[in-house]
Amino acid sequence: MSGKRVLTEPEIETVFRRLSEAMPGRTVTAKGPKDQPDPFRSVVSCILSAQSRDANTRKAVDQLFALGRTPDQILALPEDEIAAAIKPCGLYNMKTKSLKKLCAVLIEEHDRKVPQTREGLMDLPGVGRKCADIVMSFTFDADVIAVDTHVHRVCNRIGLTDAKTADQTARQIEENAPEWAMRDGHFWLIQFGKAVCVSRKPKCGTCPVNDLCLFYSATAAA
């Protein structure tokens, strides 16, 4: 914590309650990382999505899975072939090495099964907190709030958290959010971040939580 005020527990509860009423939340069409059908491909897709636009990630994912769809098949591929397939998503040399290590660890230590806990997922090569939480939420149906760029921005603007990094935000929001909001909280926050609390010109005038938002109160007083 940097010392900046964070909303009180009742205020945080109110923020989530209002977002739950204003945003669609988890819909029947909400699917996991690049809509992958199994945990292994979900993890791989999540790794490839790091610092990559969705369209580029989708292209890289499709090209890679055209070559192999299991840990054994991808591990058997030459590195240059993997790198060429995933080149659209950027950082392809580093991601190729992570994928090779991931497949080897899954085969040697996990009987080719993807762990279902955050700790187990984060022990896998190339998997950080955000990727682990996304896989837990979408693939294993766990009640977690995964923190991406939008969620990180929204949480720290409003005052739900006071964190400098996405991982710190994830830890704080897990502590601060009411238990009932953990299932759909990721969806409300990301939808809110895309529609209202946008990066460059947030629509504070029409925001359903502007009377509670620390950013809005600070800018209004300036």
The residues assigned a catalytic role are: 130, 148
- Whether 42 contacts 33, CB under 8 Å: yes
**CB neighbour list of residue 210: distance below 8 Å, 6 or more residues apart:** 204, 216
The three-class DSSP label of residue 163 is coil
Q: How far apart are alpha carbons 119 and 23 in whole angstroms?
A: 30
Nearest to 196 by CA among 14, 18, 12: 18
Rounded (5°) CA angle 69-75-81: 85
Q: How far apart are alpha carbons 88 and 144 in whole angstroms?
A: 30
